[in-house]
Amino acid sequence: YADIAMYNAKADGRDNFSFFTQSLNTKIHNEVDIINDMQRAFYDNEFKLYYQPKVDAKSKKIVGAEALLRWIHHEKGLIGPDVFIPISESTGFMLSLGKFVIQESSLAIRRFSDLGYNGLKVSINISTRQFQNTDLYQDLKEELSKNDVDPKQLGIEITESIMMQHIKKTLTTLQEIKNLGVSIYIDDFGTGYSSLSYLKKFPIDTLKIDKSFVDDISEVGNNDEILLNTILAMGKSLGLDVVAEGVEHEYQYSYLKEHGCEIIQGYYFAKPMPEEEFIKLLHEEHL
Ligand code: C2E
Ligand code: MG
Ligand code: MG
Ligand code: MG
């Protein structure tokens, strides 16, 4: 087949084959560069947590935030998690980053509480590898108690795929974490495979509806919201809270509020921001 591909490329008058290998090489080089640079960046404190407000739909008050990793590179500027999380996950560096996120979020919650915001809930994302290869329960417990943080102020966001792997062990871990007082969110809900019976069996507090379902809300009323409505109904009947993520427009916000979604996260209210900016926003009381 390689021969045929070469032949076609040549017949085309272009050297597609060498073009392909060259771009693959560039990609591998970039990844090696990033991997090496990540270690340095970690010790140079270039990784930071940004906070995106979660807003109560009715009062428009900030009730919490999602902590999201950013790499503030001294030369390249801001690098988003879509660039460095997949590489970190494949090299194991994610375990260091994951631990860092637990430490930093605990410290931040401590600071928020000291400013009087002790009802605020902060959620952190947990990668598959971190969930499976670390003692998450122990790590959370240690950091929370070290910083004298009320576990009720912390939540973890996991995906459906984490939930559906090594089911027995996952269930045990989640139960321990839940007993500690930490909340459990299912992230990007609706994009993976999780059976209804597991949703019931697992100690889940909140479904985070994936942005793709929020995008189905149409401005003109085309009734494209069937899946969204199903998820909202499912949350209600299972007694789970529902957060919508990726809300960008007023009409999406209105629709969600009118259909019983209580908590909203998205650019419509605010983008992820550095801690100082988030604190300023908290002082403003509501959005
Ligand atoms: P996620 O956990 O589903 O986070 C939501 C993503 O949607 C964030 O992207 C957020 O900035 C973005 N977002 C929020 N509102 C809107 C909106 O209205 N419109 C649009 N277009 N986007 C919106 P971000 O920060 O780039 O993070 C991407 C993904 O990287 C996260 O998806 C999460 O899976 C992963 N990630 C980020 N931080 C961490 C971390 O600390 N640990 C782990 N394991 N994963 C992380
Ligand atoms: Mg998340
Ligand atoms: Mg999400
Ligand atoms: Mg996502």
- Give me ligand 1 centre to Cα 187, in Å: 10
The reported pLDDT for the residue numbered 150 is 98
Please report which ligand is nearest the Cα atom of 103.
1
Which residue is associated with the tokens 């375990």? Answer: 95
Give yes or no for a contact between 260 and 232, defined as CB atoms under 8 angstroms apart.
Answer: yes
Q: How many residues does the chain have?
A: 287
The reported pLDDT for the residue numbered 5 is 41
Give yes or no for a contact between 81 and 67, defined as CB atoms under 8 angstroms apart.
Answer: no
pTM of the model: 0.91
The reported pLDDT for the residue numbered 23 is 67
- Give me ligand 4 centre to Cα 148, in Å: 30
| C-beta 37 within 6 A of ligand 1 | no
- Nearest C-alpha neighbor of 252 from the set 211, 281, 287, 286: 211
C-alpha–C-alpha distance, residues 110 and 113, integer Å: 5
The reported pLDDT for the residue numbered 43 is 96
Q: State the CB neighbour count (10 A cutoff) for residue 5.
A: 12
Looking at residue 13, what DSSP letter applies? T
Name the residue type at position 58: K
C-alpha–C-alpha distance, residues 243 and 10, integer Å: 54
Q: Which residues contact 222 (CB under 8 A, 6 or more apart)?
A: none
Copy the structure tokens of residue 4: 């045929």
CA 103: distance to chain centroid? 17
- Give me ligand 1 centre to Cα 188, in Å: 10
The reported pLDDT for the residue numbered 8 is 43
Q: State the CB neighbour count (10 A cutoff) for residue 115.
A: 12
User: Residue-wise pLDDT tens for the chain (287 aa)?
Assistant: 343 444 344 445 555 555 556 666 666 668 888 888 999 999 999 999 999 999 999 999 999 999 999 999 999 999 999 999 999 999 999 999 999 999 999 999 999 999 999 999 999 999 999 999 999 999 999 999 999 999 999 999 999 999 999 999 999 999 999 999 999 999 999 998 877 888 899 999 999 999 999 999 988 877 889 999 999 999 999 999 999 999 999 999 999 999 999 999 999 999 999 999 999 999 997 66
C-alpha–C-alpha distance, residues 78 and 82, integer Å: 12
| C-beta 34 within 6 A of ligand 1 | no
The reported pLDDT for the residue numbered 18 is 56
Q: Which residues of 71-98 are buried (b: 16+ CB within 10 A; e: fewer)?
A: bbeeeeeebebeebbebbbeeebbbebb
| C-beta 85 within 6 A of ligand 1 | yes
Instruction: Determine which residue's CA is closest to atom 25 belonging to ligand 1.
Output: 68
Q: Could you tell me whether strands 183-189 and 154-159 are parallel, antiparallel, or unpaired per DSSP bridges?
A: parallel
The reported pLDDT for the residue numbered 44 is 97
Give yes or no for a contact between 183 and 155, defined as CB atoms under 8 angstroms apart.
Answer: yes
Give yes or no for a contact between 61 and 262, defined as CB atoms under 8 angstroms apart.
Answer: no
Q: Could you tell me whether strands 62-73 and 77-79 are parallel, antiparallel, or unpaired per DSSP bridges?
A: antiparallel
- Give me ligand 1 centre to Cα 24, in Å: 27
The reported pLDDT for the residue numbered 10 is 45
| C-beta 235 within 6 A of ligand 1 | no
DSSP E strand boundaries for 21-76 = 47-56, 62-73
- Give me ligand 2 centre to Cα 1, in Å: 42
The reported pLDDT for the residue numbered 32 is 83
Q: Which residues contact 134 (CB under 8 A, 6 or more apart)?
A: 95, 98, 99
Q: Which residues contact 29 (CB under 8 A, 6 or more apart)?
A: none
Copy the structure tokens of residue 221: 């009323």
